[in-house]
Structure 1
Amino acid sequence: MTPSKWVRIWNERLPDVPLTLLAATPVESFGLLREGAADAGLVRLPVDGDDLSAIPLYEETTVVVVPKDHLFAQVEQISASDLADELVLHPLDDTLGWEQPPGRPAMERPETTADAIELVAAGVGVLAVPQSLARLHHRKDLTYRTLNDVPQSRVALSWPAADEAPDLVEEFIGIVRGRTVNSTRGRRAEELKGQKQPRKDQKKPARPGGAKSGGAKSGGAKQGGPKGGAKSGMRTGGKGAAARGKSTKPRRGRG
C-alpha cells in the first residue's frame, strides 16, 4: 500500500479531518517533527533522541539500481555476492546502515542518493537503496532488481514524544497496518468508551409470560421434562408456577 492509498482511506474514514503529505528527506523529516511543522512522519529507524516517539511499521525491500542494458536487468533478483566485482556507490545520506557495503567502493562518496542516481545513469557504478527510493528517483534509462542477503530499511511512524500516541496518530497507524474501519483502536475506541457492550453469550430477554410457555408448566416436570425446568423458568424472570414457588405436581384425585 502506498501513501496515496493511505490518504484516500483517511479521507473516506475521516472526511472532516484534512490530511496533507509533505515530501522530505530522512534528515528533514526529523526536523519537521521537532519544529512542529508536521504532526507525524514516516521515518527510517533508528530515531535519535528522546524527544520523538516511534512505532515500527514494516521492513522495506532493498534493491539495486542499474542501467537498463546492465547484465543484472536480465534477472529478477540478485545476491550481495553478485556485486563483488561491481563499483557500488554509497551516498552520504544512505539509509541502510551497512557494516560493510558489498562490491568495490568508489573513490568518493556521492553527497546524496539523487547524485548517486545520476552517476548510475552515466554508467558509473550501481546503487543499493530501499525500493521506495528507487521508485522516487525513477528514470526511463534505469531499472532495479531485488537484492538479497543485505540489510533492509525499517520504516516507522514518528511523532513528538508523549505518554501515548494521539488519537489521530493511532488512526493513521491503523490505516498503514491495514486495520478495518471497525477496529477497536483509534477514534472508534474513543467512541466505544463507556458504552456497555453485550456479552456474546448473553441471552435475549424473555417474552412476557415466558415461563408459562417455555418454563415449568409446558417444558418442566409436568410433561416429563427434566426437573431443572422449573429453575430455568425462574432465571428468565417469568411468572409461571415455578417462579411463584408453587408446585407443578397435579393433585391426586379423590376416589
Structure 2
Amino acid sequence: MTLSPPLAALAALLADDTRARFCLALLDGRAWSAGELAAHAGVAASTASEHLSRLIGGGLLTEERQGRHRYVRLAGPGVAQLIEDLAAHAGAGAQPATLRAASATRALAAARTCYDHLAGRLGVMINDALLARSLLRQDAGFALSDAGLSWFATELGVCLPVGGRRLLARPCLDWTERRHHLAGTAGAVLCATALERGWVSRIGSGRALAVTAAGQQALARLLGVTGLAETAP
C-alpha cells in the first residue's frame, strides 16, 4: 500500500484535460514554449503556467529558460512511453467529434512521431519490415539482430551504441494500430534520419507526418515498404 499515494498523485496530474493536452502535444519530442502550449490547449497564459508548474513538480516535464521564454519538454523516454500507453488504453472506441478532428485523427493514424520515434501505420509497417528481414528479433525479447546492427551502419551510416543506458530497441504499443512500432535508440535514429533526409515532413505544428516521394522511394528500396502514398498530404 506504500505505493498508493505516489500513484494517486501521478494519476491526479493527468486527470485534467489541459494537462493531458499538454502531455500529448509534447509527445512530438520537441520543446514547446508556455505560450505555444497555452494556444494549443486554448487556455490563458496564467492558467498554462500553473498547470506546467504542477507537471514539472510531478516529474513529468522538464523546463529550460532562454531569456524571458520558458520551454518545456517531456522528462524522458519513460514518461513518453507512459503517456503513449495511457493514450492507447484511453483511445479505444473513441470517436472524433468533428470533421476537423476526424481529419486530424486520420493524419495521426497514418504517420506521426511518438516522442522521438516513428509511429502510426508508417511506424508499424517499418517494424514489420524489420522483422520480416530478420533485422529485428522477437524470439528472445525484442532486439536488433547482428544483421540489423549492420543494416543501420551500412544503409543509414549510423553505428548504434551497444551497452548504453537506453535500450537499443524496445516495442512501443501504437495507440491507433494496436500493434507495436520500434522505439529505443534504434527507433530514435530511424526517425531522426527520416526527418533529416526529407523522407517525412511535419504537417503543421503537431505530431502528424507526411511521407514524401523521396521517403516512399527510400523505404521501398531499403525495407520493401510500399503503399505509403496515402500518407502524403
Q: Same fold (TM over 0.5)?
A: no
- Larger-gyration structure (1/2): 1
TM-score, with normalisation over the residues of structure 1? 0.26
Whichever structure has more helix as a proportion of its residues is: 2
TM-score, with normalisation over the residues of structure 2? 0.27
